[in-house]
Amino acid sequence: MPAQSIREEYFSPTVHLQQIQQLSGKCVSLYLPLDGAQEGSNVFATRMKAALKRARQRVAEEFGDEMASAWPPESLARFANQIRRGPQQGGIAIFFCDGQTRIFHAPKSWQEGVYVGTECYIRPLLPLLMRPKAFYVLGLSEQNVRLFLCTPEGIEDVTLPDGIPANLEEATHFEPPDHRLEHGSASGPMPGQERGIRFGTSADEEKHNVYLKQFFSKVDGALRPLLTRENYPLMLAGIKRQLTLYSGLNTYEHLLAHHIEGSHRWLSPDDLYQLANEAWEVYQETQESDILQELNDADSHAKLVKDAIELLPAVESGKIHHLVLPEREFGDATDEMVNHLAMAALRQRSRVSVLSHHAVPAASAAGILRYGRGQHNAKAKAS
């Protein structure tokens, strides 16, 4: 039988975690860091070979000498021998379960780890559910629009798709204002208006807002296919009036509520990247605070499960709507329990969140029931 061909993929939490949870049987999970500029082309290969050797010993302890004698599989051994990697950031996660192999490059660094059991060990990957590997920044201005991609490595320009006008004048040249937008526009002076723009009357300013809305509506429509394909969050950068207008017209579901106030035209890429990351951190903190409030509300309505003995069967049976886990690992058997809860929740298509800035009420895990305890009992009796 020819050796299995495997490839490395960039990790997408929403896609790949659901795929990983389908793997079961005799599983080996490997986590290897990438050290950026200090990583020589052969360092990773050496590190991976050492991890495969440690995994063989763990496989023998967990599954016996027969499986250990065939470890590592030829595909992984070949991958370790052939891999040549230049400076990169993040980490590599490798999963092998009963002949199936998946290799992912994630934008998160971690300690080296070897895990053997009857399901994949995904705990180091869970924080990426709350922190995607990248997000877009859309720079708004009447003179031009630019799209940037922010990753842990930096910021880069994204080529805009066809159909986006170069500027406001091109978007509205020879076009009458859209009366539907005109009807919904605000009259009178707008806060945050750019200096140097003057209007003779309030009617002129209202017409300008209508044209600007038409411009932004075309930008939104042209960008939506690209944004939907990548599914990254979108952050806006612009003066307050433009942020308000674009937010009201946006049709992309992952637009962030946190924006960068200020024109991207006067910011260097480094400054824009710093402001984007600062806004992203505020967004993350707000997101976790909202989850904590959701837990408190569930507790007051008798829908919060904190006891591990009660939580495990509730997750496995699909009674949990939202499972909340801590980001930090404990370094003991608690990690295996939390890992199993996460895998079971993914199988049940339950929502899974990870808190880094706040403590989970039960320290190790907490779950929100789909129905209150009284409601669930009533439904069970009715059925």
Task: Report the range of poorest mean pLDDT among 85-99, 183-197, 319-333.
Answer: 183-197
pLDDT at 210: 87
**Fold classification of 8-129 (topology level):** 3.30.960
**How far apart (Å, rounded) are the C-alpha atoms in residues 356 and 288?**
8
Question: Residue 326 pairs with which residues in a beta bridge?
Answer: 355
In this predicted structure, what is the pLDDT of residue 84? 58
Sign of the torsion angle spanned by Cα atoms 52, 53, 55, 56 = positive
φ, ψ of residue 203 to 5 degrees: the values are: -65, -40
pLDDT confidence of residue 244: 93
Does domain 135-285 bear CATH number 1.20.950.20? no
Percentage of residues in the chain having pLDDT higher than 90: 48
Mean pLDDT throughout 237-253? 93
pLDDT at 130: 81
Backbone angles phi, psi at 190, to 5 degrees: -105, 135
Break the chain into its structural domains and give their ranges: 8-129, 135-285, 301-382
Asked if 232 contacts 254 with a C-beta cutoff of 8 angstroms, the reply is yes
Mean pLDDT of 152-172: 83
Res. 37: pLDDT tops 50: no
Question: 324: closest CA among 332, 336, 316, 315?
Answer: 315
Average of per-residue pLDDT across 247-269 = 90
Condensed to tens digits (0 to 9), the pLDDT of residues 119-150 reads 999 999 998 888 777 899 999 998 889 999 99
The pLDDT score that the predictor gives to residue 374 is 60
List Cβ neighbours of 68 (8 Å cut-off, separation of 6 or more): 56, 57, 59, 60
- Asked if residues 148 and 164 have their Cβ atoms less than 8 Å apart, the reply is no
* CA separation for the pair 41, 52 (Å, rounded): 19
Instruction: Give the whole-angstrom CA distance, residue 3 versus residue 43.
Output: 25
Sheet holding 366-369, edge to edge: 304-305, 366-369, 320-326, 351-355
Confidence of residue 80 (pLDDT cuts 50, 70, 90): confident
Q: How confident is the model at residue 266 (pLDDT cuts 50, 70, 90)?
A: confident
Is residue 36 very low, low, confident or very high in pLDDT (cuts 50, 70, 90)? low
Residue range 174-204, pLDDT digits in tens: 455 554 444 444 433 334 444 444 445 566 6
- Average pLDDT along the chain: 83
> What's phi and psi for 331, nearest 5 deg?
80, 20
Q: Which fold has domain 301-382?
A: 60s Ribosomal Protein L30; Chain: A; (3.30.1330)
Mean pLDDT for 219-243 is 91
pLDDT at 40: 54
Q: What share of the chain is helix, strand, coil (3-state, %, to 5)?
A: 45, 20, 35
Nearest to 320 by CA among 345, 342, 339: 345
